[in-house]
Each structure stands twice: as structure tokens, then as C-alpha cells.
Structure 1
């Protein structure tokens, strides 16, 4: 059984996510907090497998709560679930020790999958967070490949990086929590922006730029 603490200052959202997790037969919600202090206290008292944590909460904010949880009970995996998508928030969560970062637009099914993944020791990042964690964890990404392909969006860089590692559209979609159709659309956009005629040529360009050659162990984007 995966034991989870959920912390969010919006009662309706807190109730909804807690109910969705409890519907899974292998997940048990052992604590529900409405601010950062409660999140820390519940984490220390119950020592769950996963803390599902919002970043914007009254009093002690989510990032500070995350730091304190990781310091007090480092074995606990913290999965951030927030409305904040800016790079600064993502970087702050990464530095504080988050093992996952999802935005609240994610479906309940995706959130449940992410809770399972971080409980299993994986890293789970989606949306803007995935691009940021790639830059943070992959050697040279920030100064090399990102500038080498400036015409691509962060999401397109993510897709191209995974394609350059030999992954097909279905697996890329699973890794990035996207539909296959969305991945196909990104691939077509990449081909157009790079001015190449097929996937193989795009992969060659990606590898020339330093993509697809180094992966962050245990990362699920």
C-alpha cells in the first residue's frame, strides 16, 4: 500500500484529489493538510511514501515546506502539484528536492500514475518542468543544445530529445503524459522548424546539437 499525504489550501481540490487517490486500491491517504505547516507536521508524524504538495499555500509556502520535509524525513518522495508553471517555481522545487512536478491541469489518472511512479523511486516531470529538469540534470543542456536549436520550443526540445534516444511516438507520449496525436503534431512542427524532410534527419540534427546522448537515470518525463 502506498501511503500518501496530500496538502492543498483549496478544500474542494483537496477533497477531489484525495478521493481519486483513495479509489485506487493500492493507495491510502494518511493525512490531509491545508497549509505548509500542516504538510510538514503530517509528513513527520506519519512518514508517508509520498507527499502530494501544492506550492502556493498560506503561511509556510510549498517550497519551504518541501525543504523541511526533505530535511526531516528524506526518505519521503515529494510530488509537487500546483498551478505554477514558471521556470523560477520549477527551479525552486527542484533545488528543494522535489521528485516530481505536475500542473493542476493534469488528469486524475495522470496524478495517480505519478504518485505510483515517485513511490517507486522514479522522477516525474511534465509540462515546463520537464524541460527545466532536462536542462538541470543533463550535462551541458543549458549552455549547449538549448541554444543550438533556438527555433524549437521547450516542449519540442523534450520530444526531439526522446526521439533522438530512439523512442517512438507512443512511448514519448507516455513519458511526457501527452496523447500520441499531440506528439505527432510536435514532430511535424520540429521537422518544419528544422527544415528537414523526415524524422531521421531531425534526429541527426538533434544529436549534432547534443540531444539524445545523455539521459537522467530513473527519469520519467
Structure 2
């Protein structure tokens, strides 16, 4: 694992590095206190970024991170700035005033995500082929075939969307948005009552029957935080 800390507060960044090293074994931790615009941030699993950097906006710096697998964790002394982060696929927000409390909540979230990532769905019983829940972006049906879409692959199974909904939508991360599509809230970047856009830039129409979509999405967001 590789973790980066971007903060011009040398004292706090050192404290954060020491804290991280207590909980994550076999981890490379890089600390950057200056020259932020020249950094190559492509290879990190987690990035802790102070929003209020003197040299550059932490939010703008996060937008330059092209690796969609990197989990962005903003850190700030001003918790109101969390509302400026909605354009970022944010993983977590740490308030410096409540650093210990929020760091423990972050650890709990990571544990939940790891537990979720270990859940598998049997796609093909004959060939013993499984797919991880956490990897599924969305599921779409055509007649009696459902296609499961991940970042790089597609898997098909002879089943109905109704059966998939019974199985997956009992999980807080999944939601049936129309008569042929189930989405994973984990990969939502834009959402309203008319449409949903996922991390892969695909946009889907929302059925009028999906009246509790926004409520379910916010429930999911509260759960993972």
C-alpha cells in the first residue's frame, strides 16, 4: 500500500504519518509539505490532502488525480469546506479539530469497505465464476439475461432483473433505478430524480417509480461515513 500526505503544516503532517504507521503495516507513506503542483500523484492508494494549502487549492489538486482507484481524504481546520468538495469523488473528510475522532471513523469505514469487498456473487456455477459486489458498477437486463458491468469487464447470467433486485437491493449499496437497471451507489458521481451518472461517465434515466432514490443514496452515504 502507498499513502501520500499533502499538507504545508509540517507538525500535523508528521503527527498524521505517525498515526497512519500504527494501523497500516507494510505501507509506504510519503509526506509533501511544498511544491505541490509538481507532484506525481498517480500511484497512491490513499491521499490525505489539506484543503487550505497556501500554494494551491487542495480541491484543485485533488481534481488532477486521474487514478480513479485513489481514495481522496480531505483534511481541514474549517469543517464548513466539506460543502466545497461535492465535485470530488471524496472518500472521507477529517476535521483537524476532531482529528482523533474522525481518524477512528475513517478506520471503521475502511474496515467496512474491506468486508464488503470480500462478498462475492456466483455468476457461473458450472465454471465456478464469481464477481465481487464492490466491483459491480451496474446491472442491466435484456429479456432473461442480466449483464454485470465492472470497470473493465462484463459478465452475463441467465436470470431476471427481478431476481437480481431481490438479491442485490437488500444491500444498501444497490438500487433499482428503472425496469432494466440496478446501480451501485459507490460509483455515483451525479444524481437527481431524473438521471444518475456513474464514475465511468455512463448516465441512466430514473423511473418515476424510484421516488426514494435520493433518500436511499443519502442513507448509503451516511452509512459509509
Structure 1 length as normaliser, TM-score?
0.48
TM-score (norm 2): 0.48
Which protein has the bigger strand share? 2
Q: Which has the higher helix share?
A: 1
